[in-house]
Amino acid sequence: MNFDDELEKEVKDTLHNVTANMTPSPSFKESVDNALLQCCHDMRKKVAVIFGGCSPEYSVSLQSAYAVISNMDKEKYLPVLIGITSQGDWFYFNGDIEKIANDTWRNDTDCIPAAVSPNRSKHIILKYDDKRTDKISIDVVFPVLHGRNGEDGTVQGVFELAGIPIVGCGVLASALCMDKDRAHKLVHVAGISVPHSYILTKSMDAGIALSYAEEIGYPLFVKPIKAGSSFGVTKVLDRCDLPAAIKLAFEYDDNVIIEENITGFEVGCAVLGNETLTVGEVDEIELSDGFFDFTEKYSLKTSAIHVPARIDADTAKQIKETAKIIFKVLNCQGFARVDMFLSASGEIVFNEVNTIPGFTTHSRFPNMLKAIGIAFEDVLTIAIELAVKI
């Protein structure tokens, strides 16, 4: 053994003897792990999280995005934050995520204008100012946007054009699920019951709307065809309230649906997957009065959500199977929340699909999956990996 070999052996033996009885503290291990991650960003998948949006549901998106960013597994993923103002301007955001939650994120210190490169050969977000343009490579995009210009296939189209994998539903499913009338027609063809309804356009005579309503019967619902979080929705109890309800709905869309009121209660299913689907526990919305409007959805002032729903096992199984059929009929992928009614007679009636449901820790979608043992962080990981594998 030459001198160099003897020296190497002695160093190894000495280091072994010194460290043999050492147990690093958890805080020391965490600091080392964090330091390694900072040096090895490229080893993590870069996830562009899109938040905000030119939509009435802008504020809801901020809360969902904050929860998604906070609960994303930072050992696997590096969030790249892209904010869209309520006016529709895109920015790369590099500030404290608390500013997203309290809607102070849009400022000149933390933001720089951003755009998506349509070049399919490289998945790139461009950030630019008057002096220079920089490129940020990304692996996948996670739109955490609700309602118009985010959940309706428009943003999904931008990223599909650029060839960037999308977490959740693509263009077709997003557009179909936002359109209540077309979604109902397709689901009905699949043999699933839907509420009786009629479509109104702005050019229609008021008398036609009244005759449709008389045929459906009161109470009934008036809704914009394409709107989320119950914006513009009215439960109409009698004929005299119909004109005001129609006027309100037309403030949110150019087409309005007059829909039968289903006697019973609303149930929902969280669906996760592409080909093989996982369905969370069925939940149930208990209302004391009215309907599950925007205020109730985000405050639960007079309503309650039961997970699991207070129904028998056979009915729960039937609802889950129905949710799977709806998910596939509407070409959904990744995840979605399928909402249905369980009528007083026990019939399952389709209501709507939310392709980007609320993603706060107290939202219905993650809580239905939590009830079958899938933690919020794991839901996000599964959803991201499903997108990357497509």
Strand partners, 199: 257
The token pair at 196 is: 């009786």
The label of the residue with tokens 């820790």 reads: 361
The token pair at 206 is: 């008021």
Q: What is the CATH topology of the domain spanning 168-192+263-390?
A: D-amino Acid Aminotransferase; Chain A, domain 1 (3.30.470)
Q: Where in the chain is the domain with CATH 3.30.1490.20?
A: 196-261
Q: Where in the chain is the domain with CATH 3.40.50.20?
A: 41-166
Query: Could you give the CA distance from residue 187 to residue 330 in angstroms, rounded to a whole number?
Result: 8
DSSP 125-151: EEEE-SS-EEEEE-SEEEE---STTTS
Q: Where in the chain is the domain with CATH 3.30.470.20?
A: 168-192+263-390
Going residue by residue through the chain, which has 390 residues, state the pLDDT in tens, using 9 for 90 and above.
555 566 666 766 765 666 666 666 666 655 665 565 555 556 899 999 999 999 989 999 999 999 999 999 999 999 999 999 999 999 999 999 999 999 999 999 999 999 999 999 999 999 999 889 999 999 999 999 999 999 999 999 999 999 999 999 999 999 999 999 999 999 999 999 999 999 999 989 889 999 999 999 999 999 999 887 678 999 999 999 999 999 999 999 999 999 999 999 999 999 999 999 999 999 999 987 665 555 545 556 657 899 999 999 999 999 999 999 999 999 999 999 999 999 999 999 999 999 999 998 889 999 999 999 999 999 999 999 999 986
Query: Could you give the CA distance from residue 53 to residue 66 in angstroms, rounded to a whole number?
Result: 14
Q: What is the CATH topology of the domain spanning 196-261?
A: Dna Ligase; domain 1 (3.30.1490)
What's the confidence (pLDDT) of residue 301? Answer: 64
Q: What is the CATH topology of the domain spanning 41-166?
A: Rossmann fold (3.40.50)
Query: Could you give the CA distance from residue 329 to residue 232 in angstroms, rounded to a whole number?
Result: 27
Secondary structure of residue 234 in the 3-state scheme:
strand
The token pair at 94 is: 């590099």
Query: Could you give the CA distance from residue 136 to residue 114 in angstroms, rounded to a whole number?
Result: 10
CB 338 within 8 A of CB 346: no
Greatest C-alpha distance within the chain: 103
With the C-alpha atoms ordered 22, 28, 34, 39, is the resulting torsion angle positive or negative?
negative
Taking the model in full, what pTM does it have? 0.85
CB 249 within 8 A of CB 233: yes
